[in-house]
Structure 1
Amino acid sequence: MRGRWSVRERLLGSSGLPREVYVLGLIAFCVAVGFGVLVPVLPVFARAFGVDNFAVGAVVSAFAAMRLLTSPFCGRLIDTFGERTVMATGIFVVALSSGVAGVSQSYGQLLVLRGVGGVGSAMFTVSATTLLLTSVETGLRGRAAGFSQAGFLLGGMAGPAIGGLLAAISLTAPFFFYAGTLAVAGAVGLVLLRTRSERLDTTAVPVVPFRQVLGDKRYQAACVTNLAQGWTSFGVRSTLIPVLVVEVLDRPPSWTGIAFACAAVAQTLAVGPVGRFVDTVGRRPAMIAGGTIAGLAILAVPFAPTIWLLIAALCLYGVAAAFLGTAPAASVGDAAGGRGGTAVAVFSMCSDVGAIVGPLVAGWLADTFSYPAAFAVGAVLLLGAAATSARMPPTVAGTAEVASADLR
């Protein structure tokens, strides 16, 4: 069988991945292209209404806040309507709200519309992650999560560059482009994904009580890591770096797109080997390495004297993010037994908490103290996540079972 791998499987470094993984990767690409387009312009667009860095952070937080409030209900929606329907509906909600946000006449309108988009984003994220974890066995979860992440990365690689070009024309054009790519992603999900009954016999998939999952050290480490990533990626990276590029390094907004695109290339090149590493070497070393490297890289960003050194630091952060975007999701699947919308929702909510509080705190620290102080908090959280991951059992997924006593 290994001697007959297709070209696609050789490139992915895995075989036996189900159809859902490939479709979710395609959907992730469409979503990420649109989201990436907004990255260089959203903070600048908000600043155009005459607000300070704290208010800019609030725009990012509004999206995450509604994700957080909506996520607890997503498990029940998935049980009632299925992952495919909930995911497509969520994507269409984000598409509509983003298109309307592009014609906002005030800061208040922009804030509300970004919040509405957060509702749809929660529906998409929880349903897509649940579908991914129920579609693969333990020994393939790292590679499946890596393939899905690759879709986001390829979109993220193209999105900021496109956003930078569109920003040169108009600050509102990226919003409409985002709405269009999301509409395509929702259509792909409805047409190509199978329903739950078509995919598997759900009674054959073990269900682990959430109370038991919550006491699992693997799940605890995954949640802490997701919190740190949400804080750093949304609170520091997406909120302050665009402003840092324009106001400190005196570069146009298009350079933010270039910098983020370079980081996405680095992360994309790393995600294939990282997926195999997570499945063969283990989740624990991947999460320790990812948290440590990411923390040190983000700490160096505000001290970069030139745009090129800033890009180098972001590329290093991108490599670390490949670990942090793959291993925690696989760990959640290991702890929850591949099912459990509640476990996935809480895992997603941890990132949202970081994405809500992070932009506000980072903006306040930048306004009150300095940019290095804002970045330092994110670094401390990432290093703390690495320390929490060190408590995980060192078992390699798919090679041995860990005794219950070792997980708690």
Structure 2
Amino acid sequence: MLATFAFARFATGLISGKLVDHFGERLVYSFGIGFVSLTSFAAGLAQNYEQLLIFRAVGGFGSSMFSVAAGSILLRAVDDDHRARAQSLYNGSFLIGMMAGPVVGGALSGFSLRAPLIIYGFLLIAASASGAVLLRNSTLAAKPTAQQERETITVKSALAIKPYRSALIISFCTSWVLFGMSRSILPLFMVEEIKVSPSFMGLGFTITTIINGLLLLKAGKLSDINGRRYSAVIGTSFITLFIVAIAFTTEPWMFIAASVIVGFGGAFISTTPSAIVGDVLEGKGGQVIGLFQMSGDAGAMVAPVILGAIADGYGYRPAFLVSAALMLFAVLVSTKLPETRASHLGQSSR
């Protein structure tokens, strides 16, 4: 179910971007969330696994529409002197939801396993309605005029910009580690080889989330002040250090130390690639943002398959070292990243 939802998001990223470019962010944002709401209700009422799988997969399209539209609004609503801080607030709201969701959903599942999906559906209706109402007078999120549609930045022109290509690479590599490796082979490694309990492992993930949340705004401010390359190098370097620490972990306390490291690195890297994309956008570019989000989705999808195969054939540690090598490439890309805050430094982002 998780894989099909992620694949649906990935497969429809460019379609969602095209819809944003044609209909505007307000309509696509509200319709996308509303669509996920309907599929959530349907999943909650599913009578068998096949129905549940189909409803969740279809919901991935709505999630793609919402996330591309939200990203487009966010990245264009502020200038490049404040873009990373705005992204930090946005990511912080997701962190709160990620922490609160399992708590509420776990409590509701005691009454019925269908209850979390039904409640989720009602919450999404509220989110869809609020977007439609709050953005009703926004020219930024409105349907573009014919002239604006002609001026929309294309994927081809965006790919000609070096910082945009760098953002795609960094996003793919970090998602490989943070959403692919960390949610697939890392828990298995800790339970099977280090012999920790699931609750101990949960403690490590909680520490990572708390540190990430505490540092998000500070990291965003530093990115706006010191530049995207500064934050990208720090973030990718600490995530590489995290993977190396995990690869050589032999005691439970070493996992806790690694959790602190990745919490710090994640705070810096979570805002940087998207801020770069926002810096180089010149007007609407829904497909450009869609492709950027697809790069992250691709890393999260591909990593569990490849790393799982390596872990099965050669062991967990070689799989971690492969991830470290990939992340070292992201560090190299980050060191060569041109500054993109043109309004701040008076430099060209191309």
Q: Is the alpha carbon distance of 1:94 and 1:209 closer, same or farther for their aligned partners in structure 2, counting shifts above 3 Å? A: closer
Q: Does 1:138 align with 2:80?
A: yes
Residue of structure 1 equivalent to 2:205: 260
How does 1:377-392 map onto structure 2 within 5 Å? 377-392=322-337
8 A contact 1:217–1:391 mirrored in 2: no
Counterpart position of 1:355:
300
Which of 326, 329, 334 matches 2:274? 329
Count of aligned pairs between the two proteins? 346
CA offset digits 1:261-283 (Å, max 9, x no partner): 32111111111111111111000
Partner of 1:89: 31
1:141–1:330: 8 Å Cα contact kept in structure 2?
Answer: yes
Cα drift, residue 348 of structure 1: 0.9
Query: Are residues 1:376 and 2:318 paired?
Result: no
Q: In 2, distance between residues paired with 1:213 and 1:392?
A: 15
User: Counterpart in 2 of 1:222?
Assistant: 167
2:13 corresponds to which letter in structure 1? S
Deviation at 1:70, TM superposition (A): 0.8
CA contact (8 A) 1:287 1:323 kept: yes
Unpaired runs of 5+ in structure 2?
A: none
Say if 1:239 and 1:195 are closer, same or farther in 2 by CA, change over 3 A.
farther
Q: What displacement does 1:129 show?
A: 0.4
- Counterpart CA distance in 2 for 1:182 and 1:255 is 33
- Correspondence for 1:317: 262
- Supply the distance in 2 between the matched residues of 1:229 and 1:174 (Cα, whole angstroms): 30
Superposition map of 1:1-400 within 5 A: 59-98=1-40, 100-101=42-43, 111-160=53-102, 175-176=117-118, 178-194=120-136, 196-197=138-139, 207-244=152-189, 247-248=192-193, 249-252=195-198, 257-301=202-246, 303-305=248-250, 308-394=253-339, 396-400=341-345
Higher deviation after alignment, 334-343 or 242-251: 242-251
Amino acid at match of 1:382: M
Distance 2:247 2:96 in 1: 26
TM-superposed CA distance for 1:213, in Å, is 2.0
- Output the aligned Cα RMSD: 3.3
Deviation by residue 1:285-334 (Cα, 9 ceiling, x = unmatched)? 11111111112213433654455543432232122122222111111011
How far apart, CA to CA, are the structure 1 residues paired with 2:290 and 2:169?
14
Seen in structure 2, the aligned counterparts of structure 1 residues 198 and 109 have a Cα distance that, compared at 3 Å, is closer
Within 1, Cα distance between the matches of 2:190 and 2:49?
A: 22
Counterpart CA distance in 2 for 1:380 and 1:162 is 38
Structure 1, residues 348-373: CA drift from partner, whole Å, max 9, x if none? Answer: 11112212212221222333332223
Q: TM-score, normalised by structure 1?
A: 0.73
Once the 2 structures are TM-superposed, how far is the Cα of residue 377 of structure 1 from its aligned partner? Answer: 3.0
Q: 1:349 to 1:198 in 2, by over 3 A?
A: closer
The 3 A distance-change label for structure 1 pair 103 and 207 is closer
Distance in 2 of aligned mates of 1:382 and 1:403: 27
Query: Structure 2 vs 1, CA of residues 229 and 183 (structure 1 numbering), >3 Å: closer, same or farther?
Result: farther
**Counterpart of 2:310 in structure 1: which amino acid?**
L
Report the AA paired with residue 290 of structure 1.
Answer: G
Partner secondary structure for residue 393 of structure 1: coil
Alignment check: 8 A CA contact 1:281 1:396 kept: no
For residues 259 and 175 of structure 1, what CA distance do their matches in structure 2 show? 27
Structure 1 residue 140, shift from structure 2 partner: 1.5
Contact 2:163/2:340, CA 8 A, preserved across alignment: no
| Contact 1:239–1:359 (Cα < 8 Å) also in 2 | yes
Sequence identity, in percent? Answer: 37
Q: Which amino acid aligns with 2:315?
A: S
Amino acid paired to 1:75:
G
| Distance apart, 1:218 and its partner CA | 0.9
- The amino acid of 1:153's aligned partner reads L
